[in-house]
């Protein structure tokens, strides 16, 4: 991961930044999935847990040749008026590293109740007493709203956590969201 491309969302009076980010991320995900790319990582330089927001800046990471290939594809077509895309640049020598991962909340209480009913032979009332609605996990992380073509799910929040900084780069592959449970991206 020796190069990167910065993609900045331009302000738009008709679309909120999170809507533009969702549109960009859907296109990124679709392109990575269709082309089987596991060598492109994503980070969010304006990520802020206090708000929480991913910000208006997306950074793609990879080898120069990988980024050349990806950026030559028409995946940004139709969004050019909303984006400022940098050239492919070398990662600074003093960059640190961090993991950028997807975080999924534990199953919803209703799903956990159905599971308990199947596994433990409980009726609906007993399952409700054992697993109340208050058992739902509420994530306080930045997210982007996406739809899934593979599952047909109309929309879902993709929660993203940027891990602590490290001086050590970890190798690995990235999923079709540009995220990894193993690999790190350069952080600067």
Query: Is residue 109 included in any domain, yes or no?
Result: no
CA dist., res. 179 & res. 188, Å (int)? 17
> Any bridge partners for residue 42, and if so which?
60
**For 102, which DSSP code?**
E
Query: Is residue 119 included in any domain, yes or no?
Result: no
Domain CATH number, residue 76: 3.30.70.2540
Q: How much is the pLDDT for 41?
A: 99
What is the pTM assigned to this prediction?
Answer: 0.83
Q: How much is the pLDDT for 149?
A: 61
Side-chain half-sphere exposure of 163, counting CA atoms within 13 A: 22
Q: How much is the pLDDT for 103?
A: 93
Would you give per-residue pLDDT tens digits along the chain (188 residues)? 999 999 999 999 999 999 999 999 999 999 999 999 999 999 999 999 999 999 999 999 999 999 999 999 999 999 999 999 999 999 999 999 999 999 987 767 887 888 889 999 999 999 888 888 877 667 889 999 987 665 666 788 999 999 999 999 999 999 999 999 999 999 99
Query: Is residue 138 included in any domain, yes or no?
Result: no
Q: For this structure, is 35 an active site residue?
A: no
- 103 touches 181 (CB < 8 A): no
Number of domains composing the chain: 1
Query: Is residue 140 included in any domain, yes or no?
Result: no
Query: Is residue 46 included in any domain, yes or no?
Result: yes
> Any bridge partners for residue 8, and if so which?
57, 84
Q: How much is the pLDDT for 152?
A: 66
Query: Is residue 20 included in any domain, yes or no?
Result: yes
Residue 71's domain spans which residues? 3-103+164-187
Selecting among 3, 18, 29, 35, the annotated active-site residue is 29
Which is nearest to 177 in space by CA: 158, 153, 157, 155? 158
Return the structure tokens found at 144. 């982007």
Q: How much is the pLDDT for 184?
A: 98
């Amino acid at each position: 991961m020796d190069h990167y491309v910065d993609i900045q969302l331009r302000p738009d009076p008709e679309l909120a930044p999170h809507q533009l980010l969702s549109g960009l991320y859907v296109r990124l995900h679709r392109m990575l999935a269709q082309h089987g790319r596991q060598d492109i990582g994503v980070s969010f330089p304006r990520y802020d847990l206090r708000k929480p927001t991913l910000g208006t800046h997306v950074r793609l990471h990879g080898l120069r040749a990988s980024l050349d290939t990806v950026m030559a594809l028409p995946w940004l077509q139709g969004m050019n008026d909303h984006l400022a895309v940098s050239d492919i640049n070398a990662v600074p020598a003093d960059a640190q590293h961090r993991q950028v991962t997807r975080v999924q909340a534990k199953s919803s209480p209703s799903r956990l109740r159905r599971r308990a009913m199947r596994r433990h032979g409980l009726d609906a009332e007993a399952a409700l007493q054992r697993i109340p609605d208050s058992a739902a996990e509420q994530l306080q992380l930045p997210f982007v709203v996406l739809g899934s073509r593979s599952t047909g799910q109309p929309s879902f929040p993709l929660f993203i956590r940027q891990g602590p900084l490290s001086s050590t780069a970890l190798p690995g592959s990235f999923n079709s969201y540009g995220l990894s449970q193993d690999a790190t991206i350069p952080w600067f």
